[in-house]
Amino acid sequence: MTPTPSETVEQARGARLEARVSAAQKTLLQRAAALSGRTLSEFVVASAQEAANKVIQEHATIQLSRSEQFAFVTALLKPPKPSARLRRAVAAYRQQMGL
């Protein structure tokens, strides 16, 4: 049996989220919701989701200046020669692992 659209919405929105806000915050949110033509719940959920997506995107993306981009690409294309300390560490690792 195929679920009705209202049943699908209920399944999609099965989790609850509650928050305590001041009277001034609630008034502000209600005003913004009304101006955007949404219910308070719709407005709060949409705004929170938008903010969450923005934070996640900012943490998932590395933004480099032009000079940082150049340094990064240069390091990839022309890496420095391994130092003596790094060569010793590799040798010790290989010996320890039996490689």
Residue 20 CA to its chain's centroid (Å): 25
- pLDDT, tens digit (0-9, with 9 covering 90-100), for 38-82: 999 999 999 999 999 999 999 998 889 999 999 999 999 999 999
How far CA 86 is from CA of 53, 72, 89, in Å, comes to 40, 20, 5
- Going through 1-99 in order, the beta strands assigned E by DSSP cover none
Residue 17 reports pLDDT greater than 70: yes
Identify the pLDDT of residue 79.
93
Residue 9 reports pLDDT greater than 90: no
Q: How confident is the model at residue 3 (pLDDT cuts 50, 70, 90)?
A: low
Identify the pLDDT of residue 70.
95
User: Residue ranges per domain, the chain?
Assistant: 20-97
Q: How far apart are CA 57 and CA 52, in angstroms?
A: 9
The tokens describing 48, both together, are 């929170």
Which residues fall within 8 angstroms of residue 69, CB to CB, at 6 or more apart?
A: none
